[in-house]
Amino acid sequence: MKDFESLRGQLEQTDFPQVYFFKFIVPNQNDNVAKVSALFPSETQVQMKPSSSGKFISIGVKQVMLSTDSIINIYLKASEIEGIISL
């Protein structure tokens, strides 16, 4: 939770609900993409773009979020995915 204090401070200055843009980079393995997609409701549109080398995939997700805690919870769950980079 300590890692997210700066983000928490920034988010608490905004109004909710809001559309929040999540961006992750994961090693290009199908299970990693599936794990990131599983963090969001099934109807959420997930944008994926492979890196030029094809070793990684950039994943972008726009999601209506209701609170600071809901955003941080997504990042906490994502941090359990091996090799993920949260931007």
Q: What residues contact residue 32 under an 8 Å CB cut-off, 6+ apart? A: 26, 57, 81, 82, 83, 84
Say if domain 2-86 classifies as CATH 3.40.30.10.
Answer: no
**Of 41, 24, 6, 43, residue with least CA distance to 82:** 24
In this prediction, residue 29 carries a pLDDT of 85
Q: Alpha-carbon distance 46 to 41, whole Å?
A: 10
In this prediction, residue 7 carries a pLDDT of 87
In this prediction, residue 2 carries a pLDDT of 54
For 17-75, the pLDDT digits (tens) are 999 999 999 999 879 989 999 999 988 989 999 999 999 999 999 999 999 999 999 99
In this prediction, residue 42 carries a pLDDT of 87
The answer to whether residue 1 scores a pLDDT higher than 60 is no
